[in-house]
């Protein structure tokens, strides 16, 4: 059974600069260099109303709808996660392709299934994410399901045009 062993505050200082560095690649029209496993999410600040950006790893994709799945590694208190709950109309960019989209927080059960599906495909990244998030797990599919259900919410981002 997974358990949270330490809080996971958002990065500050030089860690924040490193985490946000990929945003600059997108701004310089070099997003294609990052590859197709990440996307640039442009969302609206819930208090400021200003555009905000974050680069997120794509954890899965729904082949029927073209929706992308991403995880909020810092949990439901992440600013981008709170912002999309307030205003789900977003813009995403994967490589050079940019499109309008709608973000929908997945249910705890959907998040659990998404995490259980993601972890075996990317075991090293999943273990690293658990360390960053302060979660101890035995590495089983069942544990990863519980991590997604109870600790790491997932979001489904569906393009609204150019699917």
pLDDT tens-digit profile of 85-139?
A: 999 999 999 988 999 999 999 999 999 999 999 999 999 999 988 988 889 999 9
C-beta of residue 61 within 8 angstroms of C-beta of residue 28: no
Name the DSSP letter for residue 72. Answer: -
Token pair 């929908």 is found at 104
pLDDT for 28 equals 80
DSSP string, 81-98: HHHHHH--EEEEEETTEE
Residue 6's SS3 state is: coil
Residue 124: Cβ-neighbour burial (10 angstroms; 0-12, 13-18, 19+) = exposed
Q: pLDDT digit string (tens) for 40-99?
A: 999 999 999 999 999 999 999 999 999 999 999 888 989 999 999 999 999 999 988 999
What range does the domain containing 94 cover?
3-159
Specify the number of domains making up the chain: 1
Distance of CA 109 to the CA centre of its chain: 17
Q: Who has greater pLDDT, 10 or 37?
A: 37
Residue length, the chain?
Answer: 163
What's the token pair of residue 143?
A: 């544990």
Measured distance CA(21)–CA(54) in Å, rounded: 10
Find the CATH number of the domain harbouring 147.
2.30.110.10
Q: With a threshold of 0.95, does the pTM exceed it?
A: no
């Amino acid at each position: 059974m997974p358990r949270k062993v330490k809080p996971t505050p958002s990065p500050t200082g030089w860690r924040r600069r490193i985490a946000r560095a990929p945003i600059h690649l997108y701004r310089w029209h070099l997003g294609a260099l990052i590859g197709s496993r990440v996307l640039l999410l442009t969302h609206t600040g819930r208090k400021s109303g200003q555009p905000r950006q974050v680069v997120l790893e794509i954890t899965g994709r729904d082949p029927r709808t073209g929706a992308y799945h991403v995880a909020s590694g810092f949990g439901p208190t992440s600013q981008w996660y709170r912002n999309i709950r307030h205003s789900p109309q977003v813009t995403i960019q994967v490589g050079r392709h940019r499109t309008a989209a709608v973000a929908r927080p997945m249910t705890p059960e959907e998040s659990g299934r998404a995490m259980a599906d993601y972890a075996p495909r990317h075991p090293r990244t999943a273990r690293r994410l658990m360390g960053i998030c302060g979660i101890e797990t035995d590495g089983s599919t069942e544990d990863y399901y519980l991590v997604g259900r109870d600790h790491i919410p997932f979001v489904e981002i569906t393009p609204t045009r150019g699917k």
